[in-house]
Structure 1
Amino acid sequence: MNNIGEVLFSENEILARIKDIAQEINNDYANKSICFISILKGSFMFASDLMKNIKPDCEMDFLSISEFEGKSSTGQVQIKKDIDISIEGKHVILLENITNTGLTLSYLKKMLLARGPASVKIACLLKRSSVEKENIKIDYQGFQIKNNYLVGYGLDINQKFRNLKEIRHLQKVRK
């Protein structure tokens, strides 16, 4: 791991915060069924660990989008794989690993609201302190971060390092 920097959040810190988020969600939806929608690929680890702590009465689906190439945002959100289930009348929680600009979440929330759910909320593991561009509300937030490039726990650079159990600063890009 010669090109990966220091650990920003350890596996234990991540799992403890996710457990807290799950408890908040369980409290807020005590008598309601929830439909979770995980944004692939990055949020798969967050979604998996969160679901282990959520009450059984829930559904799970996935969507895949494209906004980034390497380290740069293209500024346009494209749906690569849409959800397979109907969300009409359901309480939806959108799961994202990191909010960079808010553009993706703003776009997806509007798209999902057009499908008639009872509600749409957002759970995000990492939120950049600079996220105010799209005025998006993160309902369940893990950690606030600065504008460093991070890898691990689902975060990648050119599809590498997603499998790390912790979140680290990336020092340089390996070809």
Structure 2
Amino acid sequence: MSIIKVKDKRFETSIPEAEIKQRVKEVAGMINKDMAGKNPLLLAVLNGSFIFAADLMREITIPCEISFVKLASYQGTQSTGVIKEVIGINEDLSGRSVIIVEDIVESGLTMKRMIETIGTRNPADVRICTLLLKPEKLKVDLDIDYVAFRIPNDFILGYGLDYDQQGRQLKDIYTLKED
């Protein structure tokens, strides 16, 4: 396990790049099977999911499309609890199979809001695909179709996730190391 420093905090490797790549391939395989013949729209939540979404899409072998939405609820290492939509959805979702691609689901409030917003646009179905899930932090009941990793309630960064906008470029996922 390597230890790195980002800004004023120390982090240690918790999920190495090879393990991430393997799980992304497995999740893409499930999507390929479940969505065969449907041309799903991947709706990636920025900023955190951009690396996961890109790697996932490269592993999907069925016809599909991608678009992006930006929501904000974090500052530093804490969720503000206030979710505000920054960039909206421009595609016609009527009759489409939509897969929300998220970096991490914690409380589930962001996903609940996304599903409510998308639901008003008459999609055929909406599924959730997340790189990381913190089951103990869920505050709402969600049906999450695709989960790459279930993790404990630790602060993490790397592979698209950040600490105060730093560390997104790291290939591994790191956990905050308390001193």
TM-score (norm 1): 0.94
Separation in 1, partners of 2:81, 2:13: 29
Retained in 1: the 8 A contact 2:71–2:84?
yes
The runs of 4+ residues in structure 1 deviating greater than 3 Å are none
Measured after TM superposition, the shift of residue 56 of structure 1 is 4.5
Where does structure 2 lack aligned partners over 5 or more consecutive residues? none
Structure 1 range deviating more: 123-132 or 104-113: 123-132
Per-residue displacement from partner, 1:104-133 (whole Å, max 9, x unpaired)? 001101110111000000000100021431
Of 64-73 and 156-165, deviating more is 64-73
Relative to structure 2, which stretch is displaced further, 75-84 or 39-48? 75-84
Picking from 79, 101, 107, the partner of 1:101 is 107
Partner SS state of residue 149, structure 2: strand
Structure 1 counterpart of 2:123: 117
The one-letter code matched in structure 2 to 1:147 is N
Aligned counterpart for 1:150 among listed residues 146, 152, 156? 156
Alignment correspondent of 2:136: 130
Equivalent pairs counted in the alignment come to: 172
Greater alpha carbon shift after TM alignment, 124-133 vs 19-28: 124-133
Contact 1:95–1:123 (CA<8 Å) still a contact in 2?
A: yes
Change (3 A) 1:24 1:56: closer
- Structure 1: runs of 5+ lacking an equivalent: none
CA RMSD of aligned residues (A): 1.2
Give the aligned partner of residue 72 of structure 2.
Answer: 66
TM-score, structure 2 as length reference: 0.92
Hey, what's the Cα distance between the residues in 2 that align with 1:167 and 1:104?
Answer: 22
Partner Cα separation in structure 2 for residue 58 and residue 166 of structure 1:
27
- Choose from 48, 59, 81 the match for 2:54: 48
SS at match of 1:110: helix
CA distance in 1, matches of 2:11, 2:138: 27
Give the Cα separation in 2 of the matches to 1:113 and 1:123.
17
Q: C-alpha offsets along residues 143-175 of structure 1, whole Å, 9 cap, x if unaligned?
A: 111111101001101100000000001237xxx
Give the letter aligned to residue 154 of structure 2.
N
Secondary structure of the structure 2 residue equivalent to 1:92: strand
Aligned partner of 1:18 in structure 2 is: 24
1:27-83: per-residue Cα shift (whole Å, max 9, x none)? 001111100000000000100000001124111100001111111212121100012
